[in-house]
Structure 1
């Protein structure tokens, strides 16, 4: 094996956000950019003799990027790389493979729900040995290495083709190409009662799953159609494409609108779902009803005992700070712990490893459990199907029964996209500076009862994360949370999360935006959103 050393230097902006480093394809594919960041990761993790898992969502530039990463890994003494066939591997499947094979970590090539194609986005993140995203200590080490880098090393030999499941060599490094679906499906069969779901479908239960031209297509086709017996065509947009069919692979009512519109029709299937670019997010619908991710987490927690893998109950529930408090109410009734963490799945890892929680969720359509250390879109779909098979009711009936018992948390997220970074920063800085004076202040029809710049102390290792977003609480059990997104690649995105609790016995059938109207006005007034952004209304409402 011949190794070449290529001079490089620190590159501005190589600082990962909440889920790895994401940039446009044009940035990532610039000469030396991917290579410099990959070398920085390896410099931070002691790669000599390591076993790594690698895979991605199939987006544009994945193949070329994997070829370069393999050449760098071989030159840096990595012993083995386990990679999905054709480079495909969903993020939850990668997490499972890291754990099952006892790998040192993994490299996941994805920008998740961001658009793909030559003019789209690309991403690279490192997952640690527990299968979860790198915690802040590891991320900080990568950033430190990136700030000091002087060169990267590569083999002169080209990386092998990844289209066949087999073992090959690149220098002294073994490259093992595996079926990306098989191990994940086997895990799902351990967790869920496939027989009860098969019977439900055989009895006439209908479903539609939109893979959004992304990585979950092969997984959903194998499980929902081949294993559970859903008719062919139940999984749509099932073939992964480099530009996600020209769409935006984000499973929400805006970007999965055809499915959303279908499910609101009187002749809709019984169940609808979608997943995103790398398979870690989900959208759940029933005939005539959309289930918010916050409600989905709460419902799964309340009914988890009906599913074989969780029959002994759950240890606790964790949610990200912007996620509604619906799951907290379930945890309280079950007598288990409830945690509020910063945004980013990495913050759930310690809680899961310590056995403090079993289920986790984020308002951004991420739900998961202790079966892996990533959120898992298809797992959430199977949880819902298994629960419906046992409860023998519709999605709408299940949701309304839950609201009757626990009350409803009306909830919505308002995104102000592509605003100037300077304006977004000034808005947040001003709001944070004013927090001490806000309690007791009148805002529209509401009174502020609390205001904080969210700071999280990890209950397992004691690590502290500051500046994680602003939480405003109001009388009448209303909340608003504001933070700047860490997943975009253009300008800044201000996310405003809005919540209004309606207890059992009150109206649960209002229009969501109407129910939230008072907290919307109060939040806009306090944050001066129009003044700083120039926007009268959000770009996206979910």
Structure 2
């Protein structure tokens, strides 16, 4: 809470001023420009709040005209530090005057603040109003409006919850150098980017950050309008469900592209000539962590990855002399590490990447991390990944998803695997059960079988295949080619086709 001092206003008498006195509305009604004066609305709202008993219930709403939304938020910020216990607000701040009167009466509220100028025209150059209805739902009588007016004439300060907005975009500007990214854009006019909101929640954020803040053309954002059914699509950012983006990236030879899922916590990074595996993405960002201003100020604590995520991050951590933590699948397992200042960046192979700036994975953060690094190193995705592989070797990695498998068929797969692992012939082999089943090979390769818990129907079987390659000549090969034999081993060992009756996976990453 803060107390804000100001000079009192002497013109906040409710009603319409006429030649012979004040008549009409019991509210304060004036042109919007008057209400937009610094502290003007706050003064009248505080004067109303000063008449309420402590622990009051207040009803708030308006007719939707210009200034209603901002003023509703203002009332909420002031009510919460002025003894109001409960506020009932109309959806999107909109509530008819009769409905407000009804609600005040039905719930036993101590009053209501209505934002309306009745039948008068609205808009920036027209009218706005604030009126108070008492506990019976009726417009405040003259005795009360006079009391409010007297308070306003002598009011020197108002109390408000810290008015500084917590804005995601502004926070990103604290973490990354937007100036460096803008400079890169200006110096590389032919550099093409394309970001896909997949009709999920990120669309408005992408427009604000990439278009308004960074200055990229409006055509750089696609599918930015959130839809209730995600426009009939599946808001999962991978090569299968983000096919529209993938096709445009290849056709238009886009240099940097990203897609985000429905709630904005997952991301996919690619260019027209290279797809970045999520496991490599978190490792690459960690390797270039010194290029992100946030970590230059904070320092770097360590890294973490989920168990199925490839060991590429481990190699980065070792080169930097930092610890890497392996946790079960689920972002919640990273949070204790972050709260203890043990990790700065963490990631999952399921297109989830984030840092200790929040306690969720963050798709837009990941895309800005990539764009920041591109801006500083002044080159594209494929050359950067080539350099990364030359430095560390490459953990070739692929995930095969068999979605919507009938539960009994999925259970057969895992009953079969468990029977093999517990059989006498396997006792001396390197197997383990760690939120799934891991097969560890002598050369460091891994096969992992898991059932996913993120679907709403049926079961999803995920098979992870990883193989480390140090041969420079193979670094830029297609992962599916390099892993072909190991994938075949994984499928045959689990008898996937026999038990699921599926000829192939739903999604390959």
Q: Same fold (TM over 0.5)?
A: yes
- Place the TM-score, normalised by the shorter chain, in its bin: 0.5 to 0.7
Within a 5 Å distance, the mapping from 1:305-384 to structure 2 comes to 305-311=290-296, 313-384=299-370
* Aligned counterparts of 2:477 and 2:424: Cα–Cα separation in 1: 29
Corresponding residue to 1:287 among 272, 282, 302: 272
Q: Higher Cα Rg: structure 1 or 2?
A: 2
Corresponding residue to 1:276 among 249, 254, 261: 261
| 1:367-425 deviation line (CA, Å, top 9, x unaligned) | 00000000000000100011111111111111110011111111111111221112212
* Residue pair 1:216, 1:278 contacting (<8 A) in 2 also: yes
In the other structure, the counterpart of 2:92 is: 162
* Aligned counterparts of 1:232 and 1:163: Cα–Cα separation in 2: 30
In the other structure, the counterpart of 1:299 is: 284
Q: 1:531 deviation in Å?
A: 2.2
Residue 527 to residue 389, structure 1, CA distance change in 2 (3 Å): same
* Aligned counterparts of 1:510 and 1:269: Cα–Cα separation in 2: 21
Residue 378 to residue 159, structure 1, CA distance change in 2 (3 Å): same
In the other structure, the counterpart of 1:537 is: 504
In the other structure, the counterpart of 1:189 is: 173
Q: 1:182 deviation in Å?
A: 6.0
Q: Using structure 2 for the length normalisation, give the TM-score.
A: 0.67
Q: 1:504 deviation in Å?
A: 5.2
Q: 1:158 deviation in Å?
A: 8.5
Which secondary structure does the structure 2 equivalent of 1:314 belong to? coil
* Residue pair 1:279, 1:376 contacting (<8 A) in 2 also: yes
| 1:2-42 deviation line (CA, Å, top 9, x unaligned) | xxxxxxxxxxxxxxxxxxxxxxxxxxxxxxxxxxxxxxxxx
Corresponding residue to 1:212 among 195, 198, 215: 198
Q: Give the structure, 1 or 2, with the largest relative contact order (CA under 8 Å, sep 6 or more).
A: 1
In the other structure, the counterpart of 1:451 is: 431
- Is 1:198 matched with 2:177? no
In the other structure, the counterpart of 1:232 is: 218
Within a 5 Å distance, the mapping from 1:457-536 to structure 2 comes to 468-503=435-470, 505-536=472-503
Q: Using structure 1 for the length normalisation, give the TM-score.
A: 0.63
In the other structure, the counterpart of 2:40 is: none
In the other structure, the counterpart of 1:255 is: 241
| 1:472-518 deviation line (CA, Å, top 9, x unaligned) | 11233311111111011121111111111112535112222121112
Aligned residue pairs, count: 366
* Residue pair 2:314, 2:324 contacting (<8 A) in 1 also: yes
Q: 1:195 deviation in Å?
A: 0.3
* Aligned counterparts of 1:449 and 1:383: Cα–Cα separation in 2: 41
Q: 1:323 deviation in Å?
A: 1.0
* Residue pair 1:415, 1:539 contacting (<8 A) in 2 also: yes
* Residue pair 1:449, 1:475 contacting (<8 A) in 2 also: no
Which secondary structure does the structure 2 equivalent of 1:530 belong to? helix
Which secondary structure does the structure 2 equivalent of 1:418 belong to? strand
* Aligned counterparts of 2:305 and 2:93: Cα–Cα separation in 1: 39
* Aligned counterparts of 1:248 and 1:387: Cα–Cα separation in 2: 30
Q: 1:293 deviation in Å?
A: 0.5
| 1:292-344 deviation line (CA, Å, top 9, x unaligned) | 11010000000011110012542111111111111111011111111111111
In the other structure, the counterpart of 2:386 is: 400
Supply the RMSD in Å over aligned alpha carbons: 3.1
Misfit runs of 4+, over 6 Å: 168-174, 438-441
* Residue pair 2:386, 2:476 contacting (<8 A) in 1 also: no
* Residue pair 2:420, 2:426 contacting (<8 A) in 1 also: no
* Residue pair 1:436, 1:451 contacting (<8 A) in 2 also: no
* Aligned counterparts of 1:437 and 1:330: Cα–Cα separation in 2: 37
